[in-house]
Structure 1
Amino acid sequence: MSGTSHPRTALVTGASTGIGERFARDLAERGYALVLVARRAELLKGLAEELADRYGARTEVLPADLGTPEGVRTAAERLRADGTDGRAPIDLLVNNAGRGDGGVFTEQDPDDVDAMIDLNVRAVLRLAGAVLPVQIARRAAEGPGRPLGVINVSSLAGELPVNPGGSVYSAAKSFVTRWSESVAAETAPHGVHVTAVLPGFVRTDMTRGVQESGLPDLAFVPKEQVVRDALRAWAAGRGTVVPGAQYRAADGLLRGIPRTLYRAAAGRLARRGASS
């Protein structure tokens, strides 16, 4: 098994737009070769060409729908590469692909709920499960060196004790955060880092409805800051990071509010919404 003879390589899911695209740009600027994964091949090809022109980045385009078993198998097979077949092993997996369907649970389409869990939870576990054993074996064979590991893009919504209208999404992101923290503790002794990044609102396609609701600019954290904070935390071996001073303060407040008050307030909001 050999990784040191290959360029630093990152695989980014959901790389065609939003936070994933920003990860790809920042990593290319830092000298990483990239494996770009998303459903829309044309967007990936355009991004790959731009990163090659601007940064001289080596890029692979891997179209895959990670909401399907076939797409997950495609990405997982690439993540298992250990350098012996000529393909660069993956130093960093960025599990960014996700969907944020909202709505009252009893009114949601069960197929949409399943699809969200498949992408936001199952794909994250399967891809991390493909790359982490390879990275642990590399670290044992190569000794200390460049950072290896996984960044899981979770959400501060997963820290909300109650979230009417976003119950499945919040629960899925809570799972990703708690699971990431546990796996980080398991892989840290091997010198492999796992970090969950918990953004608040970010201006992406997923939050278009929120952007149109009139929230002030302070409510949004720039994609650039999310990525910068995530990469810094991952390199330092931190298990979680909340980008943005306003959201770090909010996270502290959330932890101090009794859950009973949360439930009471959420119940009033839900009743008000049902009667409007």
Structure 2
Amino acid sequence: MSGSRNPRTAVVTGASTGIGEEYARKLAERGYALVLVARRAEAIERLAAELSERHGIDARTLPADLTDDADLAQVEERLSADGTGDDAPIDLLINNAGRGEGGTFTKMDPDTIDAMLSLNVRAVLRLARAVLPAQIARREAGEHGAPLGVINVASVAGELTVNPHGSVYGGSKKFVTLWSESVALEVAKHGVHVTVVLPGYVRTDMTRDVQDKGLPDFAWIPKERIVRDSLRAWAGGRTKVVPGAQYKAADNLLRVIPRSVFKSVARRFG
């Protein structure tokens, strides 16, 4: 195997709305063939039809609840395609699907905790595990050119000890960030890129309750900026990207503030 294929193919999870939908739109503009994954079949079917007509690409749908073992296995099977069958191998996985539930940990329903961790952590790892070996094999077989790899959508919420979205959500996103940085080192030697993106507040269905609280405009990051910055970082082989100058500054500040300060704030406001 040599050279690069045309078109490239991407899988986008959580593609029915918000950041996932924006990834699908931007990748379609760039000529990617798409596999759109979400629970809402009608929404991704409409999006696939629109993008196919507008950009002349092959956009397919794979309705799935990634917390369901059978559905997850179907997506894993598609991601592991090596190009020898009818399905094209996957050049880029966008691990975007996620769930955020606020509230105090000790009062949170255990089933809600399980569902959040299943989607935010388990599905992210399982899907990456399905696609990365196939991508490494392509590099080892001599395929070069366009980037291969994974973009994982985490959150700046994972960097906060006092988390307005709750400790489970923040903890799940912190795990995704740390794991992404680790696995990025593991696969970089094979010429495969893993990038984690840490968005701040973005207007999506998940943040509808926050949108009603009157946060200032500077707190919000356009989803277009998140997608643009992360795709650029991934193509360049960068491991972590925090879109927006205000959130980059906050991320840098969080690295130098002593943890004792965080603990003091947590005791006061937690």
TM-score bin (small chain)? over 0.9
In 2, Cα distance between the equivalents of 1:31 and 1:181?
28
Query: After the TM superposition, which parts of structure 1 deviate over 3 Å for at least 4 consecutive aligned residues?
Result: 1-6
The residue number in structure 2 matching 1:236 is 236
Aligned to 1:54: 54
Counterpart CA distance in 2 for 1:139 and 1:61 is: 27
1:15-30 equivalences in 2 (<5 Å): 15-30=15-30
Which residue pairs with 2:131 in the alignment? 131
- The farther-off stretch of 24-33 and 134-143 is 134-143
Equivalent residue letter for 2:215: L
Residues 38-47 or 256-265, more deviating: 256-265
2:70 equivalent in structure 1: 70
Alignment of 1:29-178 (within 5 A): 29-163=29-163, 166-178=166-178
Matched residues in 2 for 1:74 and 1:211: separation?
35
Is this contact kept in 2: 1:197–1:240, CA < 8 A?
yes
Distance (whole Å) between structure 2 residues aligned to residue 263 and residue 210 of structure 1: 25
State the distance in 1 between where 2:21 and 2:206 align: 14
Tell me if the contact between 1:12 and 1:23 (Cα under 8 Å) persists in the aligned partners.
yes
Gaps spanning 5+ residues in structure 1: where?
A: 271-276
What is the deviation of 1:263? 1.4
CA distance 1:89–1:2, shift in 2 (3 Å): farther
CA contact (8 A) 2:2 2:144 kept: no
The structural deviation recorded for 1:176 is: 0.4
Q: Which moved more, 1:113-122 or 1:82-91?
A: 82-91
Following superposition, the deviation at residue 242 of structure 1 comes to 0.2
Contact 1:105 1:165 in 2 (8 A): no
Give the Cα separation in 1 of the matches to 2:200 and 2:110: 26
Shift of 1:6: 5.0
| Contact 1:7/1:88, CA 8 A, preserved across alignment | no
Cα distance in structure 2, aligned partners of 1:5 and 1:236: 19
Aligned residue identity for 1:243: P
Distance 2:158 2:70 in 1: 28
Q: Secondary structure of the residue that 1:214 maps to in structure 2?
A: coil
Segment of structure 1 superposing worse, 132-141 or 159-168: 159-168
Structure 1 residue identity aligned to 2:20: G
Residue aligning to 1:267: 267
Tell me the distance in 2 between the aligned counterparts of 1:241 and 1:129. Answer: 22
Give the whole-Å Cα distance in 1 for the aligned partners of 2:97 and 2:46: 18
Q: Secondary structure at the match of 1:106?
A: helix
Please say if residues 2 and 84 of structure 1, whose CA atoms lie closer than 8 Å, have aligned partners that are also in contact. no
Q: Can you list the C-alpha shifts for 1:150-198, whole angstroms capped at 9, x where unaligned? A: 0000001111134265100111101000000000000000000000000
Q: Are the counterparts in 2 of residues 6 and 89 from structure 1 also a CA contact under 8 Å?
A: no
The CA distance in 1 between the partners of 2:235 and 2:184, in whole Å, is 13
TM (normalized to structure 1)? 0.95
Change beyond 3 A, Cα 1:6–1:100? same
Amino acid at match of 2:222: P
Shift of 1:84: 0.6
Mapped partners of 1:164, 1:261: distance in 2: 17
Secondary structure at 1:36's aligned position in 2? strand
CA distance in 1, matches of 2:142, 2:207: 42
What is the rounded CA distance, in whole Å, between the counterparts of 1:227 and 1:142 in structure 2?
29
Structure 2, unaligned stretches of length 5 or more? none
Q: Deviations over 1:239-270 (max 9, x none)?
A: 10000111001111111211111111122113
| TM-score (structure 2 length as normaliser) | 0.97
C-alpha displacement of 1:14: 0.2
